[in-house]
Chains A and B, each alone.
Chain A
């Protein structure tokens, strides 16, 4: 069961693509199998394409990034099965953050201006989101307190998961039509397949974290049922993220991250106000 996300992530991605196509009045991947497996077909196709390496360092960093995402994924599945997620959450987020750092490092180490711009954009977004994400998650999962004061923190987690998924309008680091795929510009063939696969697994992890947090927040289920409901809720969250991204356009690097920061600060302020109003403790 711990390895099922490896199979499911591209399937969820395919379903999202089909639903996005329907919202956009397109057909999307044609046929039953392609509706569920198109992203798998893409990965397999990329694996068969030629590999053009601009430096061995890029390959090494991409593999390390993939391994870190894998570790994060396995940690999450084990924690879910043993109902110990709250105690491993910091470790999990650290793995994800380090994998993001690797992708930034990979992009910035290349002698390619598009790649460098993509890396800087990724850095801005990570800088704004990561700290708030981790602290909000820790408070919600580890600290007892009134529900009302946790609502803003739940919003921060939802936003952070969406942003971390790299969906429009926060796909700034790739922004294909602006900086020609940005951080991924120098990847090809199997390495590109690996990077895309890492992104899909990361999206799965983030959707699962949000599902779990949501269920813990509602707190009406038993510990054992939460695990199974989380597994069911994950694809729904994934698809909801996909549909949201369809109705939005890409933001600009001087608007998007700043707006994001303002929204998060407002939510933090709201959380603090509610804590004060409800007696000073969470």
Chain B
């Protein structure tokens, strides 16, 4: 999508009117800095102009200009333009919050407070959001003077202070419906949920800091990024390389863009089929669960054919991809897709006519459109609440501009709407893969060389199966100066509080599942610190179990 000059000029004029400066403007993003006292006014103006808040990022820039910065990233979907607005302060100064204008900013502001030590008005007395209770006061892990391997002493007494005074119905950190550690406390009257408390980030999130450590470089980070999630990891590596390529202005060969798009859609199909199976399991419809995963199996085999791996493809590199798709693979892929479509079409008709599924998903977990807008929710959660947003169509990236597809939107806002969005998206994604394979251009699959200059900024967003995945980067020497990952689930979890209220208890679990939560994305990758050998490594859940057993 080509952004109009008028739109860019209008935003630039508004920034200047509010006493700010426009740092740079690229094809996809405007970078601006404004006095912190005017951020609310600009946020309000952008929000009223149709912008969604993508996230905000705290950055320690004291070694550059002795200040701490907070970058708000807004997305104007209709214009296909990101607006990154920076405000900054000296260490002891206070920054304003914009949550009274955009409630969806609360999480990222709290994160910036916890990890970078920003003083943001209105958040001073709130409990810790990300850091555990035993983390020492005044130590902010994302500041540059804190080493990446810093580990605080353990203080279990602090955790006891966190125990709830009044016990509700505890869902987590370990519960059969949650496949990753997360904690919801449901307050119920009879079998109706009247309130919800949420506590996340149990799994330590070290990836952004780790990427700044000397042992990692730009070239290695895509492989770490892909390990953020076991289901949609390719999205994260794609988003990371896209951000670096934008920052360094690297022109990626068209064939590589097609291959990335094909794999992103394969990932969407397998993720949606996995989710549809899990939902059937939650609703006690195990036949649906098993058949949905049976249908999913050929797509996993297809991924293996094209990349060598069923999951964690590992083919993204900065400037292209590592593995090509030849004619033989293309033919096999098209044949396989035809079979998957037919199988899915046949079974999904049965699936969505099971009375218990329809009854339990209809009218439960409602997220009204205005709340969805205020919280800037993403993906099927947004589209199920009538928000017509899809990053593939609204913003220009990879090969999506060459294909046609529908964006399914349902206005009901309930669990069924979110389910139907995903069902429709499976068909659309299969069609997109077929179109891309048919049109796959000839040529190289990666650039031969590139340079990444320091202190360049870029934002990349990719439509993951769960919604918009956002990566923000400030380049450094050999590795990012700051890399921020905002997963779709991070943006969607705050909506659960609204969705769960007044929901029957039995459907609370379906409602939690309806946003397709991925807590590993939200918490990001696990780092195991071996005290005995002082070694560290990244682990998947499975590896983690082995690690625990052997140590």
Q: Could you list which residues of chain A lie within 8 angstroms of chain B, going by C-beta atoms? A: 20, 23-26, 113-114, 117, 168-169, 171-172, 175-178, 180, 246-255
Chain B residues with CB under 8 A of A25: 290-291, 294
Determine if A176 and B176 form an interchain contact, defined as CB atoms under 8 angstroms apart. yes
Chain A residues near B356: list those with CB within 8 A. 169, 248-251
Q: A114-B169, A252-B359 are in contact. Are A26 and B290 (CB under 8 A)?
A: yes
- Across the interface, do B285 and A250 meet the contact criterion of CB distance under 8 Å? yes
The listed residue (B169, B170, B284, B287) touching A24 by CB distance below 8 A is B287
The answer to whether A178 and B506 have CB atoms under 8 Å apart is yes
Nearest-Cβ distance from residue B365 to partner chain A, whole angstroms: 13
CB neighbours of A171 from chain B (8 A): 284
A177 vs B510: C-alpha distance when bound (angstroms):
10
Q: List, in ascending order, chain B residues with CB within 8 A of A250's CB.
A: 283-285, 356, 506
Kindly report which residue of chain B lies nearest to residue A172, judged by CB atoms: B506
CA distance A104 to B13 in the complex (A): 70
B504 touches A249 (CB 8 A): no
B507 and A252 within 8 A (CB): yes
Q: How far is the CA of A113 from the CA of B185 in the complex (A)?
A: 12
The CA of A75 and the CA of B387, in the complex, are separated in Å by 63
Q: Are A255 and B282 in contact (CB under 8 A)?
A: no
> Which chain A residues border B509 with CB–CB below 8 Å?
177-178
**B284 contacts across to A, CB distance below 8 A:** 168-169, 171, 175, 177, 248-250
Q: Chain B, 174-196, contact with A by CB distance < 8 Å: what is the 0/1 string?
A: 01110000000000000100000
Q: Is the CB of A252 within 8 A of B360?
A: yes
Given A249-B280, A250-B284, A255-B359, check contact A178 B291 (CB 8 Å). no
How many interface residues does chain B have, given as a range? 20 to 34
Give Cα A113–Cα B356 distance, bound, in whole angstroms.
25
Are B287 and A178 within 8 A (Cβ)? no
B191/A24 in contact, CB under 8 A: no
- CB contacts (< 8 Å) of A26 on chain B: these are 290
Contacts of B285 in A (CB 8 A): 168, 248-250
Query: Which of B357-392 touch A at CB < 8 Å?
Result: 357, 359-360
> Are B286's CB and A246's CB within 8 A?
yes
Query: Can you list 7 A-B contacts (CB < 8 A)?
Result: A25-B294, A26-B290, A113-B169, A178-B177, A178-B509, A180-B176, A250-B506
Contacts of B280 in A (CB 8 A): 249
Cβ–Cβ < 8 Å partners of A246 in chain B: 286-287
Give the complex CA separation of A246 and B281 in angstroms: 11
Whole-angstrom distance between the Cβ of B187 and the nearest chain A Cβ: 11
Question: Whole-angstrom distance from the CB of A126 to the nearest CB of chain B?
Answer: 17
Q: With contacts A20-B286, A252-B359, A255-B359 known, what are 13 further pairs, Cβ within 8 A? A: A24-B287, A24-B290, A26-B290, A113-B168, A113-B169, A169-B284, A180-B175, A246-B286, A247-B287, A249-B283, A251-B356, A251-B359, A251-B360
A271 vs B546: C-alpha distance in the bound complex, in angstroms?
62
Chain A CB within 8 A of B264 CB: no
Q: Using Cβ atoms and an 8 Å threshold, which residues of chain A touch B360?
A: 249, 251-252, 255
Bitwise interface map of B from 269 to 308 toward A, beta carbon under 8 Å scored 1, else 0: 0000000000011111111111100100000000000000
Closest to B294 in A: A25
Chain A residues whose C-beta falls within 8 Å of the C-beta of B121 in the assembled complex: none
Q: In angstroms, how far is the closest chain B Cβ from the Cβ of A124?
A: 10
Point out the residues of chain B lying under 8 angstroms from A251, CB to CB: 356, 359-360
Chain A residue with Cβ nearest B357: A249
Q: Point out the residues of chain B lying under 8 angstroms from A114, CB to CB.
A: 169
